[in-house]
């Protein structure tokens, strides 16, 4: 793996801002990073363009954020609710349109944070769940920049569902940063090996001081994903 300082030498704030500001529902414009890619940059070179489709998603393009609206918790959130005291702070990494954070608020959680690259998703969040939107701390950003600036052990619990972290290129050490900022627990629902950038999550988190306390890899309702709960050792 490349050193993290190289990631931030290649990826600039203007590159992150360009991904986030892309026109909704439109193909991505050729960026500085895209021009670099055409010069046969090797696969391991830092990149963030995997997030572009999420950032541009709308009702007419990509993954329609409205499809993620729900009123009842999915298996991952149900596990978090069983294992987490409402007094603890929770960061939803890839909060999308805010349904999970709204459920947490209704269950008594008051220290809520969320981050997502999707502008359309966050607009739905603000419209559909105004009380949660006004009380939670929500950021429109890419995970890489958001996590880099987040204070160490700055939140009790991290929750992330689906392709949110699976699409983070391995040039950015996302497991390192999740482990750095989570004071207690990390809840993930992911494809451990079958997605774009497979990782050995269990060993990586163990190396960073987190042990696996629960895993579900066989439930039909998980749709070939794994539900993993890590606790700080």
Give yes or no: residues 80 and 183 share one domain.
yes
User: Which range of residues forms the domain containing residue 73?
Assistant: 65-232
Q: What is the pLDDT of residues 152-202, one digit of tens each?
A: 999 999 999 877 888 899 999 999 999 999 999 999 998 887 777 888 999
Give yes or no: residues 111 and 191 share one domain.
yes
Q: Which residue has the tokens 């500085």?
A: 32
pLDDT, residue 192, reads: 81
Give yes or no: residues 47 and 98 share one domain.
no
pLDDT, residue 77, reads: 97
Instruction: State the CATH number of the domain containing residue 102.
Output: 3.40.50.150
Using CA atoms, how far apart are residues 126 and 132, in angstroms rounded to an integer? Answer: 8
| More confidently predicted of 72 and 26 | 72
Among the residue ranges 26-35, 119-128, 213-222, the one predicted with the least confidence is 26-35
Q: What is the pLDDT of residues 106-139, one digit of tens each?
A: 999 999 999 999 999 999 999 999 999 999 999 9
Give yes or no: residues 46 and 91 share one domain.
no
Comparing CA positions, the residue from 86, 83, 78 lying closest to residue 213 is 83
**How many domains, in total, are found in the chain?**
2
Give the predicted TM-score (pTM) of the model: 0.91
Contact between 101 and 126 under an 8 Å Cβ cutoff? The reply is no
Give yes or no: residues 142 and 165 share one domain.
yes
Contact between 79 and 103 under an 8 Å Cβ cutoff? The reply is no
**Residues sharing a CB contact under 8 Å with residue 155, sequence separation 6 or more, in sequence order:** 89, 90, 91, 113, 181, 182, 183
Give yes or no: residues 101 and 136 share one domain.
yes
What average pLDDT does this structure show over 206-226? Answer: 87
Share the mean pLDDT of the chain. 89
pLDDT, residue 225, reads: 86
Write down which residue in 18, 35, 56 finishes a domain: 56
């Amino acid at each position: 793996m490349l050193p993290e300082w190289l990631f931030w030498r290649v990826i600039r704030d203007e590159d992150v801002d360009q991904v986030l500001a892309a026109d909704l529902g439109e193909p991505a414009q050729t960026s500085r990073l895209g021009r670099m890619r055409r010069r046969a940059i090797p696969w391991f070179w830092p990149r963030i363009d995997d997030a572009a489709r999420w950032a541009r998603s709308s009702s007419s393009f990509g993954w329609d954020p409205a499809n993620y609206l729900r009123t009842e918790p999915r298996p991952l959130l149900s596990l978090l609710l069983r294992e987490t005291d409402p007094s603890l702070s929770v960061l939803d990494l890839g909060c999308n349109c805010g349904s999970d954070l709204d459920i947490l608020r209704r269950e008594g959680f008051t220290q809520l944070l969320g981050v997502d690259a999707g502008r359309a998703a966050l607009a739905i969040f603000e419209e559909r769940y105004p009380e949660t939107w006004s009380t939670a701390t929500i950021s429109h950003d890419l995970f890489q920049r958001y996590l880099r600036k987040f204070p160490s052990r700055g939140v009790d619990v991290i929750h992330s569902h689906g392709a949110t972290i699976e699409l983070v290129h391995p040039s950015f050490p996302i497991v390192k940063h999740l482990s750095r900022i989570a004071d207690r627990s990390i809840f993930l629902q992911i494809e451990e090996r079958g997605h774009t950038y497979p990782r050995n999550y269990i060993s990586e988190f163990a190396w960073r001081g987190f042990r696996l306390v629960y895993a579900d890899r066989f439930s039909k309702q998980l749709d070939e994903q794994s539900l993993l709960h890590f606790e700080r050792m």
